[in-house]
Amino acid sequence: MYLKSLGSSLAMVLLMTPDAHAATCASLLTLGLPNTTVTLAQPVAAGAFAPPATGGGPPPQPAVFTQLPAFCRVAATLRPSIDSDIRIEVWMPLAGWNGKFQGVGNGGFAGSITYTSGSGGIERGMAEALKRGYATASTDTGHVGGTAAPFLDHPERLVDFGYRAVHEMTVAAKAMIDAFYGTGPRLSYWNGCSTGGRQGLMEAQRFPSDYDGIIAGAPANPQTRLSAWNVHVGKMAARPMHAIPPSKYPMIHRAVLNACDGRDGLQDGLIGDPAACRFDFAALECKGADAPSCLTPAQVETARTVTTPAVHSQTGELIFPGLALGTELGWATKIGGPEPSPLGTEFFKYIVYKDPSWNWRTFDLESAVAPADRLDNGTLNVTADLRAYRQRGGKLLLYHGWRDQNFSAQSTINYYKSALETVGAARTEEWVQLFLAPGVGHCGGGEGPNAFDPVTALEQWVEQGKAPGQIIATRRVDGKVTRSRPLCPYPQVAKYRGRGSIDEAASFACVAP
């Protein structure tokens, strides 16, 4: 450790003074680390950070940046392979460091540093981590821009995106923290959603010593199956006869709510457990000509496809679950355009078929999945074997919004169950918990209570041994809390006690379904 090379008297001062530094921020510019070139090392005054400009003009200036404390900002390029070009940033508080490190994840195909999580009510960016007193880091995963095009004929860059960039960032960040403060972080946490959730699971699987606690929200896993499902449902909806106009989404949503809302014993505009409800979209089929209040037979087929698990017709194998009931207001992200989501088409164009001219109209779900899985061979898809992570004492907090419009929470439930089967289901509160959020969209948003704090829950679990029995979620309108609910560890659900306001968490208890 860097501290050992210092004189004993200075070392004593550093140990007793948390905000003392073993090195100046600027001196980190010459820090020698394997496969690492430090390109920037400078102090940033409180509230003065401005993210780099992009090709589209000056970047937005979220209010969170004006609230940041002073910090040491380090940027570096990592080249663990001959074709790697991984950019990272590490931020370290100049005062008030809590002694901990938080790595933050990406979204989509990554391609940029996650400075802030933006809106959504669930904190998970570098700015949010720094405000809590963490030293923090993020990476672009080895390419620039949120597209899969850089992976074409660059297999090492795909490996970087899949798992290597996050691990290399973590190792380098801890070394920089050690050099700056004279001691490494006493605890390390990961915080990510979507791609960031998958990155967290990959860290737990491949590098179980990197993080003591991992928050994996709505993990985009398995990536090959999710990508295939994206093309599958988008291809169907791209047919003129099968397209459902977004103007019909509210009508469909009202019908689903009418059928499913009260199944949990409470009419509150939310579906507490969509998996427990069944709805046949044929009930909305037009009796005559097409109209805004009904669905044509082809549109009924589309609605069924997007909400029904995709299953192999010959083997019966689940390919990927469909969207949950209650997601109808967000269907535009999957079936609202003239072609499928690029998160699916670009995956097959640039990674699987390696053909920029590939036409998604030729896509066949059942014949595409097996070769995609073989090609991936664990680069992107995370297995449920987390035995090493559990054995080293790591804690894994999973969450997923039931109203997720990008992919169903059922995919995370399936992963959770597989992990328990592989690792052992006994005493899950010792190492893994899953929280499902009714009415909450992909990584936040939605009409349900969509703001909650998994970081504090994970900290208490790791540092105090207190597994989260519930996490309180709130919904705000014009800055005021209008509803709060407990999120419960799966398979428990929030049940109304029969008294008190249905808009207050205290009126609910977490019980077995």
The residue with tokens 């509230």 is: 47
Domain annotation covers residue 415: yes
The answer, yes or no, to whether residue 341 has pLDDT greater than 60, is yes
**Is residue 66 located within the same domain as residue 81?**
yes
Question: Tens digit of pLDDT for each residue in 123-157?
Answer: 999 999 999 999 999 999 999 999 999 999 999 99
The HSE-up count of residue 450 (CA atoms within 13 Å, CB side) is: 20
**Is residue 193 located within the same domain as residue 259?**
no
- 450: tokens are 């969509």
Note whether 131 and 67 are within 8 A (CB): yes
**Is residue 89 located within the same domain as residue 28?**
yes
Which residues face 343 on adjacent strands? none
Transcribe 365-383 into DSSP letters: HHHHHHHHHHHHTTSSPPP
SS3 (DSSP) at 191: strand
pLDDT at 22: 80
- 247: tokens are 């103007």
pLDDT at 3: 35
Last residue of a domain, one of 370, 404, 438: 370
Determine whether 72 is exposed, middle or buried from the number of CB atoms within 10 Å of its CB (0-12, 13-18, 19+). Answer: buried
In the structure, what pLDDT confidence band is assigned to residue 121 with cuts at 50, 70 and 90? Answer: confident
Question: Tens digit of pLDDT for each residue in 38-60?
Answer: 999 999 999 999 998 765 566 66
**Is residue 211 located within the same domain as residue 242?**
no
What is the extent of the structural domain holding 24? 1-184
Q: Percent of the chain at pLDDT above 90?
A: 88
Which residues face 485 on adjacent strands? 473
Average pLDDT, the chain: 93
Note whether 451 and 475 are within 8 A (CB): yes
Catalytic residue among 112, 117, 194, 341: 194
Count the residues in the chain. Answer: 513
**Is residue 171 located within the same domain as residue 35?**
yes
Last residue of a domain, one of 167, 184, 201: 184
Decide if 507 is catalytic. no
The answer, yes or no, to whether residue 13 has pLDDT greater than 50, is no
Question: Tens digit of pLDDT for each residue in 267-315?
Answer: 999 999 999 999 999 999 999 999 999 999 999 999 999 999 999 998 9
SS3 (DSSP) at 64: helix
The closest alpha carbon to 306, from 284, 322, 319, belongs to 322
SS3 (DSSP) at 467: coil
**Is residue 97 located within the same domain as residue 143?**
yes
**Is residue 169 located within the same domain as residue 27?**
yes
Domain annotation covers residue 366: yes
Give me the CATH number covering residue 446: 3.40.50
Last residue of a domain, one of 162, 184, 206: 184
Domain annotation covers residue 412: yes
Residue type, 511: V
Catalytic residue among 117, 268, 442, 507: 442
Question: Tens digit of pLDDT for each residue in 439-497?
Answer: 999 999 999 999 999 999 999 999 999 999 999 999 999 889 999 999 999 999 999 99
The residue with tokens 């959730």 is: 197
Residues 6+ away with beta carbon under 8 Å from 55: none
Note whether 45 and 63 are within 8 A (CB): no
In the structure, what pLDDT confidence band is assigned to residue 23 with cuts at 50, 70 and 90? Answer: confident
Query: How many domains are there within the chain?
Result: 3
pLDDT at 55: 57
Catalytic residue among 143, 268, 404, 408: 404
The average pLDDT across 337-344 equals 94
SS3 (DSSP) at 330: helix
Spatial separation of the C-alpha atoms in residues 140 and 130, rounded to whole Å: 18
SS3 (DSSP) at 397: strand
Determine whether 55 is exposed, middle or buried from the number of CB atoms within 10 Å of its CB (0-12, 13-18, 19+). Answer: exposed
pLDDT at 479: 87
The answer, yes or no, to whether residue 221 has pLDDT greater than 70, is yes
**Is residue 39 located within the same domain as residue 180?**
yes
pLDDT at 56: 57
Decide if 194 is catalytic. yes
Spatial separation of the C-alpha atoms in residues 39 and 89, rounded to whole Å: 10
Which residues face 475 on adjacent strands? 483
Decide if 83 is catalytic. no
Least confident of 8-12, 58-62, 168-172: 8-12
**Is residue 366 located within the same domain as residue 397?**
no
pLDDT at 118: 67
**Is residue 204 located within the same domain as residue 260?**
no
Domain annotation covers residue 504: no
pLDDT at 117: 85
The average pLDDT across 235-248 equals 95
Domain annotation covers residue 512: no
The answer, yes or no, to whether residue 241 has pLDDT greater than 70, is yes
Transcribe 331-346 into DSSP letters: THHHHSSSS--HHHHH
SS3 (DSSP) at 259: helix
The residue with tokens 């017709």 is: 313
pLDDT at 224: 98
Residues 6+ away with beta carbon under 8 Å from 257: 269, 271, 326
Domain annotation covers residue 376: no
The HSE-up count of residue 440 (CA atoms within 13 Å, CB side) is: 27
Spatial separation of the C-alpha atoms in residues 94 and 248, rounded to whole Å: 53
In the structure, what pLDDT confidence band is assigned to residue 119 with cuts at 50, 70 and 90? Answer: low
Residue type, 459: E
- 24: tokens are 């100046």
Determine whether 348 is exposed, middle or buried from the number of CB atoms within 10 Å of its CB (0-12, 13-18, 19+). Answer: buried
Spatial separation of the C-alpha atoms in residues 183 and 176, rounded to whole Å: 10
In the structure, what pLDDT confidence band is assigned to residue 14 with cuts at 50, 70 and 90? Answer: very low
Domain annotation covers residue 70: yes
The answer, yes or no, to whether residue 190 has pLDDT greater than 60, is yes
Q: Percent of the chain at pLDDT above 70?
A: 94
Spatial separation of the C-alpha atoms in residues 462 and 465, rounded to whole Å: 6
Strand pairing class (86-93; 36-44): unpaired
Q: Which residues of 101-124 are buried (b: 16+ CB within 10 A; e: fewer)?
A: bbbbbbbbbbbbbbbbbbebbbbb
Domain annotation covers residue 191: yes
**Is residue 389 located within the same domain as residue 439?**
yes
Least confident of 33-37, 117-121, 236-240: 117-121
**Is residue 422 located within the same domain as residue 453?**
yes
Q: Which residues of 494-508 are buried (b: 16+ CB within 10 A; e: fewer)?
A: bbeeeeeeeeebebb
